[in-house]
Amino acid sequence: MISPAVNAAYDVESLRAEFPVLGEQVHGKSLVYFDNAATTQKPKQVIEAVDHYYRAYNSNVHRGAHMLSSLATEAQENAREALRAHINARRAHEVVFTAGTTASLNMAAGSLGQLLLKPGDEVLVTAMEHHANIVPWQFACERHGAKLKVVPITGEGELDLPVIPGLPRNPGLFTDQPGQAPNPGLFTDRTKILAIAHVSNTLGTINPVKELVAEAKRRGIATVVDGAQAIAHLPVDVQDLGCDLYAFSGHKMYAPTGIGVLYGREELLEQMPPWSGGGEMIDRVTFERTTYAGLPFKFEAGTPHIAGIIGLGAAVNWIESRGKEAMAAHEEALLEHATETLSAIDGLRIIGTAAKKVGVVSFVVEGVHHSDLGTLLDQQGIAVRTGHHCTQPLMQCFNITGTTRASFAPYNTIGEVDAMVAATRRAVNMLR
Q: Which residues are catalytic?
A: 390
SS (H, E, C) the chain: CCCHHHHCCCCHHHHHCCCHHHHCEECCEECEECECCCCCCCCHHHHHHHHHHHHHCCCCCCCCCCHHHHHHHHHHHHHHHHHHHHHCCCCHHHEEEECCHHHHHHHHHHHHHHHHCCCCCEEEEECCCCHHHCHHHHHHHHHHCCEEEEECECCCCCECHHHCCCCCCCCCCCCCCCCCCCCCCCCCCCEEEEEEECECCCCCEECCHHHHHHHHHHCCCEEEEECCCCCCCCCCCHHHHCCCEEEEECHHHCCCCCCEEEEECHHHHHHCCCCCCCCCCEEEECCCCEEECCCCHHHCCCCCCHHHHHHHHHHHHHHHHHCHHHHHHHHHHHHHHHHHHHHCCCCEEEECCCCCECCEEEEEECCECHHHHHHHHHHCCEECEEECCCCHHHHHHHCCCCEEEEECCCCCCHHHHHHHHHHHHHHHHHHC
